[in-house]
């Protein structure tokens, strides 16, 4: 506690050097976490739900049956929108259960913020987060270089696999979907396809930081659509912000912060990409970032 004011002064000095030094990523200081509150809560929830998938089958407690592509929460259908979309297009049959499952998922993620699925539920995201740590260490020691891709690839892949499902009459993406593969691994045990998911993880550790989640994963696109309207967002307090940009250094999708914070457009992080992971909230020393509900905050 004694050291704390000193530390803060130091940080403010640091901040001064960075203030107005530039908008883009080359000037972002390296991350150094001061607290892990939201990350710990998030990891606990992520692991809890994936354990619930596992336990529902293994211990036969039947609370959350199935895997991430399709499951039943206490009897209510939950179905991954992309998987459902592919099934409808490939089989050319519209099943009521599919619509119910997707509607329930849409309702849940409209409440809890769209791509929050990625950060709070997806098991691949968790593995990738651990992989990201290794990647950052390797990068710091200059063993590897990080590469970037175009973020729009995700949308192209979404369209590509939807069309492929329509043409081939087969849910092609579901055979290579690492999210579903890992989810099935958790519930039903290992299969050879796990090697593909692991290869993906290793390649993103060695070549490009968080490549799958950032640039490629089409599963997240449908959740992103829900994130477009979901009121649960990261709130940005302009007065407190010292513009240190440390939030951007930890963010999975840094452009969501550059767009709103640097340009000062809005009180909220409005980009639909935002996974609501809370890493930026954790790292912010100025108390400028917090969780908020877009329309409700003003009313209260």
Give min distance, CB of 182 to other proteins, in A.
12
Other Cβ atoms less than 10 A from the Cβ of 35: the count is 12
Confirm if 111 and 232 have CB atoms less than 8 A apart: yes
Nearer to other proteins, 14 or 72 (CB): 72
Residue 36 or 72 with smaller CB distance to other proteins: 72
Measured from the CB atom, the residue of 192 and 299 that comes closer to other proteins is 192
Positions in the binding site for other proteins (CB under 8 A): 56-57, 65-67, 69-72, 77, 79-80, 83-84, 87, 90-93, 95, 97-98, 101, 147, 149, 153, 164, 168-172, 174-176, 180-181, 184, 187-188, 191-193
Q: How far is the CB of 94 from other proteins (least distance, A)?
A: 10
Nearer to other proteins, 15 or 100 (CB): 100
CA atoms within 13 Å, Cβ hemisphere of 254 = 15
Query: What residues are paired with 79 via a beta bridge?
Result: 70
Beta-bridge partner residues of 71: 66, 78
Helix 81-91 vs helix 96-112: angle between axes, to the nearest 10 degrees?
160
Q: Can you tell me the distance from the alpha carbon of 274 to that of 276, in angstroms, rounded to the nearest whole number?
A: 6
The C-alpha atoms of residue 243 and residue 235 are separated, in whole angstroms, by 15
| Dihedral pair phi/psi, residue 293, rounded to 5° | -110, 120
Q: How far is the CB of 132 from other proteins (least distance, A)?
A: 21
**Residues 173 and 156: beta-carbon distance below 8 Å:** no
Minimum separation from the CB atom of position 27 to other proteins (A): 22
Report, in Å, the least distance between residue 121 CB and other proteins: 15
> Smaller CB distance to other proteins: residue 71 or 260?
71
């Amino acid at each position: 506690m004694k050291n704390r004011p000193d530390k803060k002064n130091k940080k403010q000095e640091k901040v001064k050097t960075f203030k107005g030094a530039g908008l883009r990523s080359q000037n972002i200081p390296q991350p150094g976490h001061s607290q892990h509150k939201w990350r710990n809560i998030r990891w606990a929830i992520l692991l809890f739900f994936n354990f619930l998938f596992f336990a529902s089958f293994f211990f036969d407690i039947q609370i959350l049956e199935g895997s991430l592509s399709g499951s039943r929460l206490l009897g209510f259908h939950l179905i991954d929108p992309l998987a459902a979309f592919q099934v409808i297009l490939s089989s050319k049959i519209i099943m009521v259960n599919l619509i119910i499952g997707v509607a329930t998922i849409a309702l849940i993620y409209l409440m809890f913020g769209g791509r929050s699925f990625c950060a709070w539920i997806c098991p691949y995201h968790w593995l990738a987060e651990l992989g990201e740590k290794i990647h950052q260490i390797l990068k710091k020691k200059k063993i590897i270089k990080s590469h970037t891709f175009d973020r729009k690839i995700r949308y192209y892949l979404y369209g590509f696999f939807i069309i492929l499902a329509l043409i081939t009459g087969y849910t092609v993406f579901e055979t290579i979907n690492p999210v579903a593969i890992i989810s099935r691994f958790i519930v039903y045990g290992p299969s050879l396809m796990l090697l593909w998911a692991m290869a993906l993880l290793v390649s993103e550790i060695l070549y490009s930081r968080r490549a799958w989640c950032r640039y490629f994963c089409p599963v997240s696109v449908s959740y992103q659509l829900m994130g477009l309207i979901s009121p649960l967002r990261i709130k940005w307090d302009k007065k407190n912000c010292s513009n240190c940009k440390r939030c951007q250094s930890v963010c999975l999708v840094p452009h969501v912060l550059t767009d709103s914070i640097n340009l000062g457009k809005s009180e909220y992080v409005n980009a639909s990409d935002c996974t609501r992971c809370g890493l930026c909230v954790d790292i912010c020393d100025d108390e400028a970032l917090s969780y908020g509900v877009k329309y409700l905050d003003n009313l209260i």
